[in-house]
Amino acid sequence: MADITKVLVVGSGAMGAQIAMVCSLAGLEVAVQDVAEASLERAREELTQRMQRSVDKGRITAEERDASFTRMRFGTDLAEAAKGVDIAIEAAVEKIDVKRSLFADLDRLTPEHAILATNSSSFVPSKIADATTRPDRVVGMHFFNPALVMKCVEVVRGPQTSDETAAMTVALVERLGKTAVVVDKEIPGFIANRLLNAVRDEAIRLLEGGYASVESIDTAARTALGYPMGPFELMDLTGIDIGYHTKQARFEETGHPADAPSRSVVDKVERGELGRKTGKGWYDYTNEGNH
């Protein structure tokens, strides 16, 4: 199988946009596709600002920045974006029906050799692979937020993922300057999010039980455990809705009340207080601008 030189990133939200930038900074050609023109525009603006900061800090030169953007194409037409790619990385909404139908389209539109990877944090590859005719080339490629910064990428193998697909995905992760962590046997939440969710759920239990405030819990995580940010600050960074959808999907699968989203998380989602991206989550960011 030829080397990976052309990448398609589907979805231009916070994750998709930064994944695309990581790929283009590593010298790959990248097509970024999203159904919403406005989201593509926002992604381009945010990346432009981020890269300007990288230039200002001397991490990359202005020429490298310009060359990276030259390697990127943004568009709404999936068929066009999928032409000639070696891998598609899907970073769309965490809804299984959307992902399955997207993978069926990607199966039709990408070259036969292309790997179809999902950045899903909740769905295992086998939930998606059978929507395609190439389950051996379907793999999880799970980045962490913010993808430009966090080193880890989990490479998740489904039962049908071939050794070649896993090896090529690991090689790509390394080429991106990231650390590949292989999950040999798929399990929802993989490794990092399972660890993280245990901490987050306990933090919410402490809050809902009236034992401590959001601020106290976050401060304990930072100053007692050395976490870079507390569980509530982290939810605000990743988006409270992301955790909500993940838990909701798990609950629908298992029916266990313990898997359902917590009351206070449901409240936040219903009020549209989703974290930094809406200006308010567990904390108020209205006077700060987006990070």
Is 264 catalytic? The answer is: no
Question: Closest approach of Cβ 7 to ligand 3HC, in Å?
Answer: 19
Binding ligand 3HC by CB under 6 A: which of 100, 146, 191, 222?
Answer: 146
Phi and psi at residue 277, to the nearest 5°:
-65, -25
**C-beta of 196: minimal distance to ligand 3HC in Å?**
6
Q: How far is CA 249 from the centre of its chain?
A: 16
Closest listed residue to residue 148, CA positions, set 79, 74, 53: 53
Residues 11-50 that bind ligand 3HC (CB under 6 A): 50
If DSSP codes are grouped into helix, strand and coil, which group holds residue 153?
strand
113 labelled catalytic: no
The radius of gyration of the chain's CA atoms, rounded to the nearest angstrom, is: 19
* Shortest Å, Cβ 14 to ligand 3HC: 7
When binding is defined by CB under 6 A, the residue of 17, 25, 168, 196 that contacts ligand 3HC is 196
**Amino acid, single-letter form, for residue 125:** P
Catalytic residue check, 121: yes
* Per CB under 6 A, 291 contacts ligand 3HC: yes
Nearest approach, Cβ of 21 to ligand 3HC (angstroms)? 9
Residues 6+ apart with CB under 8 A from 51: 21, 60, 65, 68, 69
60 binds ligand 3HC (CB under 6 A): no
Under the binding rule (CB under 6 A), the answer on residue 149 touching ligand 3HC is: yes
Q: How far apart are CA 32 and CA 11, in angstroms?
A: 7
Contact in structure between 62 and 18 (CB atoms under 8 Å): no
| Cis amide linkage into residue 146, ω under 30° from 0 | yes
On whether the CB atoms of residues 12 and 39 are closer than 8 A, the answer is: yes
Closest residue to bound ligand 3HC by CB: 121
Q: How far is the CB of 233 from ligand 3HC (least distance, A)?
A: 8
Catalytic member of 121, 122, 197, 262: 121
Window 165-194: residues binding ligand 3HC (CB under 6 A) = 193
Q: Contact between 197 and ligand 3HC (CB under 6 A)?
A: no
Q: Indicate the pairing of strand 138-143 with strand 152-156.
A: antiparallel
Is 256 a residue of the active site? no
- 32 CB neighbour count, 10 Å cutoff: 28
User: Can residue 132 be called a binding residue for ligand 3HC (CB under 6 A)?
Assistant: no
For 5, the 3-state DSSP assignment is coil
Near ligand 3HC by CB under 6 A, which window of 26-34, 62-70, 72-80, 141-149?
A: 141-149
Could you list the residues that contact ligand 3HC (CB under 6 A)?
Answer: 50, 53, 57, 121, 144-146, 148-150, 193, 196, 228-229, 234, 238, 242, 291
Active site residues: 121, 142, 154, 193
